[in-house]
Amino acid sequence: MIKTIRTLMVFVCLIALPSISFADDVYDVANIKVDAKGKDGIAAKAKALAIAESKGVVILFERLLTPGQKSRALKQLDRETRSLLVKGFSVKNEQSSGTQYIAEITIKFRRVAVQQFLNGIGAKYSDVQSSVSLLIPILTDANGRSVIWSGQNAWSDALASHDIRNSLIPLKIATSAEAGLLATEQEVIDRKQNAIFQLASAAGESADTVFAHMTLTEQNATLKVSGLINYSKKYSLANGPAATYQSAASDFLRALESKWRNNNISSKPRLAEVKALVVFGSLDQWIALRARLGQVSAIGEFDTDAMTSDGAFINIQHRGSVADLSAGLQSQGLTLIDLGGYFEIRG
């Protein structure tokens, strides 16, 4: 009876999973913790955002580039160019009191702008993501008791505090509610293959599984990883378990990304970027113009930056020269007008 229920649960999960089986954007960097002070709240927030931007680009380059390429890219990246790579940000757990600002910030980087910068310095990089994999963090204490989700698992919390959804190998940690009747905790700890296969459906159909088993003694912690990567490392607990978990999580996730990145190094065609005001008089006209823009072969992609009373400002990433872009637009009955600081598109 239990086996039948579990089979049905797997079927239900696989039907309901399209929204969680996709990774987030590799060009987003989440969970950047900032704590800044300034002469007032506005100055403190501005300082915090600058810190987040600086940290975010380091994390992004660490994700996309090998260590040597990362160092070279950071040396050639000035503050102004760095800001141009940023598309936007979002904030959570915000705390502001007088001269201090604390928050967790997600930086969204412009894909094409980053690609252009990396191509411009001749860097080889990888921004190809794998499908989402299930991460199973097991914590075994010095008394031999193991836990995944049934009790406090600080090792799991440390892993979850990292940006595991946007990485090159995006990861999902199943909760007890998601596990449900798919698998018991003990079955997973004992590596029962049928239970693990069913639990993996929490990350998507045919998802890979990676075990990250942290075992404690009185003085040391040993991490053994298996599945997507075979990895082992021993740590001292001299600075406390919390610091050890964070260090171990960083090391393991870096090793996991490195393996994938090194097998998927790529470079992309260089695309130029221009800002343009698309002039229209009604929503129907805007919808029609967007469709025509999508048919222009010289345009790699475009996104809406702002809406005004005159139309919509868009950022266009295009192949070739501005003349090539203009010719492509003309093929769709659109005219490109150079207004100096930006362009205007009329149809």
* 210 class by beta-carbon count within 10 Å (0-12 exposed, 13-18 middle, 19+ buried): buried
334 within 8 A of 347, measured Cβ to Cβ: yes
Residue 146 and residue 16 in one domain: yes
Residue 137 and residue 246 in one domain: yes
Residue 15 and residue 80 in one domain: no
Structure confidence at residue 180 (pLDDT): 78
Query: What's 182's domain CATH number?
Result: 3.40.50
Residue 202 and residue 314 in one domain: no
pLDDT at 250 exceeding the cut of 60: yes
**What are 42-94's pLDDT values in tens digits?**
999 999 999 999 999 999 999 999 999 999 999 999 999 999 999 999 999 99
pTM for this one?
Answer: 0.69
Residue 82 and residue 149 in one domain: no
Q: If you search the block for the tokens 């991490």, which residue do you land on? A: 223
Residue at a domain's end among 120, 137, 152: 120
**What are 154-203's pLDDT values in tens digits?**
999 999 999 999 999 999 998 888 887 788 999 999 999 888 888 888 77
Residue at a domain's end among 263, 288, 316: 263
Structure confidence at residue 318 (pLDDT): 86
The alpha carbon of 3 is separated from its chain's Cα centroid by a whole number of angstroms, namely: 36
Domain that holds residue 286: 272-346
